[in-house]
Structure 1
Amino acid sequence: ESLTHSLLSHPNILPFLGIYYEEIGSPPLMVLPFLERGSLGNFLAFAKPQIDMENLKRIVLGVCEGLRYLHSQKPPVIHGDLHPDNVLLDDEGSPYLCDFGLGRIRHEVTRSYTMNQERRGGHLRFMAPELISNRTSEQMDELRTSLETDIFSLAMLVFNIWTGSRPMKECWNEWEV
Structure 2
Amino acid sequence: MDPRLHALLERHDGLVTRPDMLRVAPAWTIQTAWRAGRLVPVLPGIYVDAALIRDWDADLPMLARVEPELARRAALAYAGGRAALSRLTALDVWGFRRQPPGEPVHLDLPIGSGLRKRPHLVVRHRSDFAIAPPQVVTRMGVPVTRLERTLVDCWPLLEPVDRPGPLIRAVNDRLTTP
TM class, shorter-length: under 0.3
What TM-score comes out, normalization by structure 1 length? Answer: 0.27
Determine which structure has the larger strand proportion and give its number.
2
